[in-house]
Amino acid sequence: MFFGSKKKLDDLMAQLRPDLSRESLGVGPAFPGIAPNPLLSRDAWKRNAELRTGALALGVLVDWREVSSDGSPRVVLMLDVETAGGISFRGIADEDLTITELTRLAPGQTLPVRYRPAVMDHYVALARDANPGQVRRLSEEIASRKRT
């Protein structure tokens, strides 16, 4: 049955929105994909709850895609993420932004994000809760590692 197959759903999503395909987002075949409606996806709910308490990292905004504009815009952000431990990866954040936040997005912008170190599936979330002191310390730690 069609709806019983996650692979077929991922393939359908890539056909409907080629700009959200794994290749377009710059992630590998292990990336689970973008949920058509994260509010109806049990996996997305669980992932988002885990990301809220995930480890802090810094992401440099590469690009974004607007998924829907119903109410507040839903946007998929592509970020090059660097962790405190020196791991770098392409992170994908599926976020609801305000119009003001959307207009402030600029490639090259550094944003604090949270990720799940135990999973490492490319999903990240904007760390809206991170205090500036935490972000500054993390930024200094990453910068000092790059200098050595």
Q: What angle do CA 25, 26, 32 make, to 5 degrees?
A: 65
pLDDT of residue 114: 97
Q: What pLDDT, on the 0 to 100 scale, is given for residue 36?
A: 66
pLDDT band at 131 (very low <50, low <70, confident <90, very high): very high
- Give the model's pLDDT for residue 71: 72
> Would you state the pLDDT for residue 28?
72
- Of the two residues 113 and 143, the one the predictor is more confident about is 113
Mean pLDDT, the chain, rounded, equals 84
Nearest to 125 by CA among 75, 88, 84: 75
| pLDDT digit string, tens, across residues 68-115 | 877 778 899 999 999 999 999 999 999 989 889 989 999 999 999 999
Q: How large a percentage of the chain has pLDDT more than 90?
A: 47
pLDDT for 115? 96
pLDDT band at 11 (very low <50, low <70, confident <90, very high): low
- The CB density around residue 58, as the number of other CB atoms within 10 Å, is 22
Reading phi first (left if > 0) and then psi (alpha if -120 to 50, else beta), residue 146 is in: alpha
Which contiguous run of DSSP H or E holds residue 10?
helix 6-16
What distances in angstroms separate CA 15 from CA 10, 11, 19, 131, one per listed residue? 9, 6, 9, 40
Cα–Cα distance, 29 to 22 (Å, whole number): 7
d(CA 119, CA 139) in angstroms, rounded, equals: 23
Looking at residue 1, what is its pLDDT? 36
Highest-pLDDT range among 31-40, 89-98, 138-147: 89-98
